[in-house]
Structure 1
């Protein structure tokens, strides 16, 4: 039969990685026999291989409706339903996390305190973002970036920064002092940094605790 020939052709094209050509062959078969479950099954296979999960779902669903007793089709249909459902749940979790509506306990992802500390040590807020505390991390990161920008942008900032770096390397090379404004910014950034490096590993350690265990 022509349909069988088209399906064999589509299968060979699929093996060669010619998914578009294989889909075209299956579409021709569907035009000849739109109620053939094996054709819809093949279409589902091709769509799934191409990454079109919803398209594969629709094809497998139609195949299952046409041949509800076919165990292979039923298995493929169940697997694609499970896969789509899992993806939707993961997307919802990520969306809730990005919106700050998901607690650490709900994410169920253990964090490494050492890595959280290191990230916050390098840049306040990164450790909190790593822990899933996106709002807190964003605030700390924003304060730090704004503080650094103001420090450099305000008159004398670059010279003050050079003096501070020189002092760290060799105190005798320091020239001039530091303005009151720049001193306040340094103090503020220090406390933000100190809070971040203490808070991040503590919250990461909590994610390792089992629910109900203190």
Structure 2
């Protein structure tokens, strides 16, 4: 029965891990599927953002390539939303785990 006991989680550790890589905090909280999905989304956004970043660098930062600039902005916003979501979710989940565990060590 002791294997079924949930262990307390440090919400700040979960938050920081998700800030480093979205999904790590979820894995720390034993939400493996959610963590892998978030890591996959992060990798996908990074891969998709490579082309507009390369175009922007190739143009020496020229702001005339509006479509590439908008794509780059879109991927940056998507990445930021993903990081913020993962951090908030990891912290709230760790808090919820700690409430369900109670005061037991």
The two structures have a TM-score, normalised by structure 2, of 0.76
SS in 1 for 2:99: coil
Given the alignment of the two structures, is residue 148 of structure 1 paired with residue 53 of structure 2, yes or no? no
Which of 10, 13, 16 pairs up with 1:118? 16
Given the alignment of the two structures, is residue 199 of structure 1 paired with residue 89 of structure 2, yes or no? yes
Unaligned ranges ≥5, structure 2: none
Call closer, same or farther: CA 1:181–1:210 in 2, change over 3 Å: closer
Call closer, same or farther: CA 1:107–1:137 in 2, change over 3 Å: farther
Given the alignment of the two structures, is residue 157 of structure 1 paired with residue 53 of structure 2, yes or no? yes
Once superposed, which parts of structure 1, at least 4 consecutive aligned residues long, lie more than 3 Å away?
158-161
Shift of 1:159: 5.6
Q: How many residues align?
A: 98
Shift of 1:202: 0.8
Q: Distance in 2 between matches of 1:137 and 1:151?
A: 21
Structure exhibiting the larger radius of gyration computed from Cα positions: 1
Q: Distance in 1 between matches of 2:28 and 2:62?
A: 40
Q: Distance in 2 between matches of 1:110 and 1:186?
A: 34
Shift of 1:211: 5.5
RMSD of aligned residue pairs (Cα, Å):
2.8
The two structures have a TM-score, normalised by structure 1, of 0.40
Q: Distance in 1 between matches of 2:6 and 2:101?
A: 10
Given the alignment of the two structures, is residue 133 of structure 1 paired with residue 34 of structure 2, yes or no? no
